[in-house]
Amino acid sequence: MQSADREIDSLIWISGATEGIGLGLARNVPHAAARIVNLSRRPHPDYESVFLDLADPASWEDVGAHFAAALAHFRGSRAIFIQNAHMKGMTGFVGEVPPGDYARDITANVAAPLRLGEMFLRAVRESGFAGEAGLVMMSSSSARSPTIGQTVYCAGKAALEMWVRVARRELAMRERRNIWVTAVRPGFVDTPLTRQVAAMADSDYPIASQMRKQMEEGVGVMDIDTAARQIWAALPTDRSLLLFGEQVRREG
pLDDT in tens, 106-158: 999 999 999 999 999 999 999 999 999 999 999 998 899 898 889 999 999 99
Q: Which of 22, 2, 6 is nearest to 14 (CA)?
A: 22
* Count of Cβ atoms closer than 10 Å to residue 205 Cβ: 21
The whole domain housing 136 covers 10-187+224-243
pLDDT in tens, 91-106: 889 999 999 999 999 9
88 and 32 together in one domain: yes
Mean pLDDT score of the chain: 91
181 and 90 together in one domain: yes
- What are phi and psi for residue 242, nearest 5 degrees? -110, 125
Q: Is the peptide bond before 30 cis (omega within 30 degrees of 0)?
A: no
211 and 232 together in one domain: no
116 and 138 together in one domain: yes
Q: What CATH number is associated with residue 56? A: 3.40.50.720
Sheet holding 48-51, edge to edge: 48-51, 34-40, 10-15, 78-83, 132-138, 179-185, 241-243
72 and 145 together in one domain: yes
96 exposure class (CB count in 10 Å sphere: 0-12, 13-18, 19+): exposed
Q: Give CA–CA dist 90/141, Å, rounded.
A: 18
Q: What is the pTM of this model?
A: 0.90
Q: Give CA–CA dist 184/65, Å, rounded.
A: 25
Q: Which of 152, 194, 182, 158 is nearest to 82 (CA)?
A: 182
